[in-house]
Amino acid sequence: MKTCIRISFYLAAFSLLFASCSDFFEPDSDDKLLEGDHYKNVSEVYSAFVGTAAVFQEAASHALILNELLGAQTIPTETAPENYWRVAKYDFSPDNESITPEPFYKVIINCNDFLRHITAFGARNPGAIEEAYYKGMISQAINFRAWCYLMLGKLYGEAVYFDDALNDYRDMSGYPSLTLEQLLPELIAFVKNGVDSIGGLNGLDWSTFLNIPNDVSWNRVSVDGNVLLGEMYLWQKDYLNALRHLRVNTDITTGDQTNRWKLSAQYGNASWSAIFGGTVGATSETITAIPFDATKNQTNPAYVAYIFRYDLAPTDSLIGMFNRQVMTNGRIGDLYRRNNSIGTITDFETMGKIGDICRKYRTAGSPIIVSRAAELHLMMAEALAGLGRFEEAMILVNLGARPYWTTVESTSFLLPPMNDPLYNADWRENRGVRGRVDLQAVDYTQRLPQNPTEQDEYEAVLSCIADETEMELAFEGRAWHTLLRLSRTIGKPDFMLDRVLKKFPEGDRALYRDRLVQNNMLVAYPKHN
């Protein structure tokens, strides 16, 4: 009987996957059960879960474009929509659809609805859904929801918080609005404890769930609960717990995953570009990614903005950062990352546009990478710095653990400070964020004033982490939030302001500084309560 049910589901799921317009990741987000209704069979449960992933795709795409418009790596082109220019100049008019929080609330509404009904179905039909799928779907709905609430907090500084089912985005009056600081403990507890005694740390094998044998790349669709918790603990300045969760993905020691998420040479030098290829990116680098299938009318919005319409372009300040780096052979310039992040066009199709162009979204079917190993290591470096472990933090930023791997009398081990239990033997292939692309190590002590304090050292290390985040994760929607967190950590808004304002001509910076300061470096948008 279970087999028949699963076959029925797969037929339904694949109708979503391969239909010409109503594809996987494109269902009607308003097609939810009424409060008094129930899932009647397993196929309805599975299809509803696919719907949560569909609206998450929209939210992840929206977040990427909005974050890049806010940050210092991207600038609108002359022909970009006026909405883009207003965001880039920190003019947060409420009629600007580019700053709307609606996509995030859609995910939350759908996940609340799904969690309520799947647990009711599980209680009425124990064992009808295979345990791994039941737990995996619940975990992913928890994580999709928590990711969106965290994004709301990071972007807007607050969010309307509710955990019951609503009819739509406009149905939030009467619910409390929580600040980011208030959201964090709620979200951490939710990811840990979840619903029906199931938290957000269960994986989901999408390749078997969707009946796509031998295609483990689909498993990158899942939002990783440990990465999510690690980032939330960073925002709380709880660095021990941040490390505890961030290290989980670097601790895999079995099978073909030995070097997974450890910044080995697999994606080093010229192969760094391979991170952005394939259906959902490189499986040994990508932790979470959203796929698009151009053959099924699914187009990555970042491809449209950066390539097809050329509405967004790299900033001169980012190009200058890349060009100032020094390789291990003394050559000037970040050869591998720059040339695989930024290209030059002389004539784009028939539009006659000239300028620099982002190369990370090469086709309409390129994935949006939500999190990957380099970001994981940079967040671990941030946590280590918060604990005063500056040398270790810079090792992760620079050349990695590999130079600390040695063998004495046939016994191999890591030398101090990398002999901490935080790192296992497979870190011997770790090359660091810069070392993986053959760049010289940066020395944070060169950024110190005379007679530096420990706080001076801390800020210098965070400055190095900020630089690498801007270059390594350019156009991926991560730098804005990293800079915001670091500036709040040290209590210095200028740490962020000086960096993001460099995308403007020097004479214009005072105006945009005032706008950012007025809004506390947050996106101003009307509340929905």
DSSP symbols for 441-481: PP-GGGG--SS--HHHHHHHHHHHHHHHHHHHTTTTT-HHH
> How far apart are alpha carbons 422 and 259 in whole angstroms?
16
Q: What's at 469, amino acid-wise? A: T
Count Cβ atoms below 10 Å from residue 313 Cβ, excluding itself.
Answer: 21
Q: Where are the domains of the chain?
A: 372-511
Return the pLDDT at 210: 75
466, two tokens: 């900020």
Please, what are the averages of pLDDT over each run of 10 residues along the chain (529 residues)?
Answer: 36 36 39 54 88 92 97 94 96 92 95 93 92 94 97 96 70 82 97 93 84 66 95 98 94 63 91 82 83 82 92 95 96 94 63 74 90 96 98 97 93 93 90 97 96 97 98 97 97 96 95 95 77
Whether 88 and 135 have beta carbons less than 8 Å apart is answered as: no
What number of helices (H) and strands (E) belong to the chain? 18, 10
Q: Which of 435, 512, 434, 516 is nearest to 467 (CA)?
A: 434
Q: Residue 159: beta bridge partners?
A: 178
Q: Which of 173, 96, 65 is nearest to 477 (CA)?
A: 65
100, two tokens: 């709307």
Long-range contacts, stretch 244-250, CB < 8 angstroms, 24+ apart: 246/376, 246/379, 246/380, 246/383, 247/380, 247/422, 249/224, 249/287, 249/373, 249/376, 250/376, 250/377, 250/380, 250/423, 250/424, 250/427
- Strand, helix or coil for residue 72: coil
Give pTM, 2 decimals: 0.90
Whether 311 and 87 have beta carbons less than 8 Å apart is answered as: no
- The owner of tokens 């883009």 is 84
Return the pLDDT at 5: 37
Q: Which of 254, 253, 272 is nearest to 264 (CA)?
A: 272
How many residues would you count in the chain?
A: 529
Whether 115 and 149 have beta carbons less than 8 Å apart is answered as: no
Q: How many CA atoms lie within 13 A of 223 on its CB side?
A: 28
